[in-house]
A and B are shown apart, each in its own frame.
Chain A
Amino acid sequence: MTKMLHVFLVLALLGLGSGDEGARLLASKSLLNRYAVEGRDLTLQYNIYNVGSSAALEVELSDDSFPPEDFGIVSGMLNVKWDRIAPASNVSHTVVLRPLKAGYFNFTSASVSYLAQEGGQVVVGYTSAPGQGGILAQREFDRRFSPHYVSSIQFKICFFTRSLWLALTCRECHRPTVFLVCNSVSVGAQQTLEILSDCCLHVDHGVPIKNGSLLEVVMSSKCNQLVS
C-alpha cells in the first residue's frame, strides 16, 4: 500500500514538473519597408513575446538568412542575446540592411533559442517569415517614385498650361472641320478620315471625338461639310 503511495507521489511530482510552467516565446520577423530598393536601407524588426509563466533565460536570436554578398549591414547585429525576458512582456530588435542586388528574395525565419526555466533544456524556435519579396533596382525605383523635381515640373507646366488654354478657348464643333482636296473625293462616297483640327472638340452625335482619331464619314455635296 505504502509502495503504491510512493509510486503515485513520484508520478504526481513528475507530472507537475513537466507541466506548462516555464517560458514560452513567440517571435516575429517583419520588414518595416514600404518598398525594398537596391542600395537603400532595408529595416527589419524582430519582436519576441514571452507568453509563458516564467522568465525566459539566455535568449539568443540568430538570423543567418542574409548572405553577405547580397546584403550589407548598415546598423545593428544579426546575432544577439538577452539575459532574460520576463513573463508577459516583449522585446524588440531592429537591424538595418542594404540589399546589394535587385530581384526576388525569400525572407526566411530567424531562429530563437532559450531556456524555458533555470537549468532546463535549450528550446529552439523560429520567427515568422516575411516571405518572398521583390527588391527593386535603383533605376526602376527612381523612375517610379523619385520626384525628378525640375524635369517633372517642366513637363507638368507645359501640360497644365496647354490644358488650361484648350479648356478656355476651345469651342464645340458639331461637324468635323477637315481640309480636303475636293476633287479627289466623290459625293456620297464613304471615307475614313482623320480628324485634324487642333483646337476644336469634335462632337459626333453628342459624343466628343478625340483629336487624331479616325472617323467614318460620308461625303456631302459640299466640300468641308460632312455628314457622318
Chain B
Amino acid sequence: QRCAESCTDPVITPSAYTTSDAVISSESVFIVELSLACANGAQSVTLYADVNGRQFPVTRGQDVGKYQVSWSLPHKQASSGTYQVKFFDEESYSALRKAQRNNEDVNAIEPLFSVNIDHRGAWNGPWVSTEVVAALIGILVYYMAFSAKSTIQA
C-alpha cells in the first residue's frame, strides 16, 4: 500500500459547473474542478468529497495538483441554492466513515478544505406554455369583441 500523502496549508483555485438547461440535458450535473497547492509540496494527495451526506472519490487530472469531483441528480432533486462540498484526505476520510458507522456527529470531522457552489437551477422551458397564454388572450379578445358588439347593437 502506498503511503497516503498529507497536505499542509492547502491553497485551492476552484471552478464549478452546474447544469442550467433542463430541456437539452436529461439530468442535472455538478462538476467541481480545482487546483491544489500544498505548503509541503505534496503532489499526489488522495481526496474524497462529501456533498449533503453523499461521498465520492475525487479524480486526479493529468496535470499535477488538478482534481475533479462530479455527481448527477435528476432535475427535480437538483434544487437551486448553495451546495457545500467538503474535501477530506485519507486520514480525515477514515475518521468520517468511522463516525458515520458509529452514528457520531459527522459535522465534527474537519475537512481539509471545502468549496461552496451555487446552483441556479435548470431552466425547464417557459413556466406557462404558449398555448395556454394564447388561449387565455384569445378568449379575452373574443369576450371584448362580443361585448362591444352587444353594446353597439343594443
Contacts and interface: CB of A to CB of B under 8 A. Distances in A.
Interface of A: 32-35, 37, 40-41, 43, 45, 61, 74-77, 79-83, 85, 91-96, 118, 145, 147, 149, 152-153, 155-157, 159-161, 164-165
Contacts of B141: 157, 161
A27 B16 CA distance: 25
Contacts of A75: 15-17, 31, 33
Contact of A96 (B29, B62, B137): B29
Interface stretch (B65-73, B80-88, B105-113): B65-73
A81 B138 contact: no
Contacts of B56: 91-92
Contact of A156 (B25, B62, B130, B142): B130
A32 B59 CA distance: 20
A43 B19 CA distance: 9
B41 interface: no
Contacts of A85: 57
A45 B29 CA distance: 9
Contacts of A152: 130
B24 interface: yes
B2 to A, nearest CB: 8
B51 interface: no
Given A77-B66, A92-B56, A92-B71, 20 more contacts: A32-B26, A34-B24, A34-B25, A40-B24, A41-B25, A61-B59, A76-B31, A76-B33, A77-B61, A80-B60, A81-B59, A83-B2, A92-B72, A93-B68, A94-B29, A96-B29, A96-B31, A147-B125, A156-B138, A160-B137
Interface in B42-62: 44, 46, 56-57, 59-62
A89 to B, nearest CB: 9
Contacts of A145: 23
Contacts of A79: 61-62
B17 A76 contact: yes
B84 to A, nearest CB: 19
A37 B23 CA distance: 11
Given A79-B61, A91-B57, A149-B130, A37 B24 contact: yes
Contact of A76 (B44, B60, B68, B131): B68
A153 B131 CA distance: 7
Contacts of B33: 75-77
Contacts of A165: 142
